[in-house]
């Protein structure tokens, strides 16, 4: 019986130092999921890279994602598209984000796809000012999930509803250990069925 493969593609929230861990899983939600019974028997691949935006993911998509011959691909990307507008004056329009993400999804014929909302747990007034930009990226994820029949994980909504933002992501973006456990819980609640279909 062949082993099924799931690839987690994304940015630093997915990466979590994967290159410095022997099994390449990093120390975040991907490792947490790999240890859950629901993924027993699955080959888990972490393809996150810190700082990535969709355009960066596209540049390494074939090598890091498609070459793994995945049965399921989970895509969790978009917060850097928001952040770079404010810290480097390097915006990514919603249209560009949508076009880039759509191009990646179009390569996944026959693959079960999970799309995860980019998460922002605002720590201060400055980050609360990112709301409109962030909402635009979330709307794109929702629209593409519907268009491609992907499983949608409303990660941002769930984490914000959990309260205690600083207790999960002190800088507003990068989860701590408790935050990564919550990410894994939410991912399984919405996407667990994709592992069984």
- Considering the candidates 11, 71, 174, 180, report the single residue annotated as catalytic: 174
Active site residue 134: no
- Considering the candidates 23, 90, 164, 171, report the single residue annotated as catalytic: 171
Active site residue 164: no
For the chain, report the end-to-end CA distance as a whole number of angstroms: 16
CA distance 176 to 12: 12
Helices (H), 65-176: 79-87, 94-105, 125-128, 131-148, 155-161, 165-168
What lies within 8 Å, CB to CB, of 197 at 6+ separation is 112
Active site residue 12: yes
- Considering the candidates 11, 12, 71, 74, report the single residue annotated as catalytic: 12
Residue 44 in 3-state DSSP?
strand
- Give catalytic residues, as residue numbers: 12, 171, 174
């Amino acid at each position: 019986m062949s082993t099924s493969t799931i690839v987690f593609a994304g940015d630093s929230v997915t990466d979590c130092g994967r290159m410095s861990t022997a099994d390449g899983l990093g120390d975040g939600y991907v490792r947490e999921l790999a240890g859950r019974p629901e993924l027993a028997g699955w080959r888990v691949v972490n393809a996150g890279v810190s700082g990535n935006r969709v355009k960066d993911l596209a540049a390494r998509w074939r090598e890091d994602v498609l070459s793994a011959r995945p049965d399921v691909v989970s895509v969790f990307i978009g917060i850097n598209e928001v952040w770079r507008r404010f810290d480097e004056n390097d915006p990514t329009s919603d249209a560009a984000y949508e076009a880039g993400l759509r191009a990646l999804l179009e390569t996944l014929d026959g693959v079960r796809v999970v799309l995860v909302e980019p998460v922002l747990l605002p720590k201060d007034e400055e980050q609360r000012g990112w709301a409109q930009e962030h909402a635009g990226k979330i709307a794109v994820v929702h629209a593409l999930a519907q268009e491609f029949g992907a499983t949608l994980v409303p990660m941002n909504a769930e984490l914000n509803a959990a309260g205690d933002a600083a207790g999960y992501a002190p800088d507003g973006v990068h989860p701590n250990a408790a935050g990564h456990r919550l990410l894994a819980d939410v991912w399984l609640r919405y996407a667990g069925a994709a592992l069984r279909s």
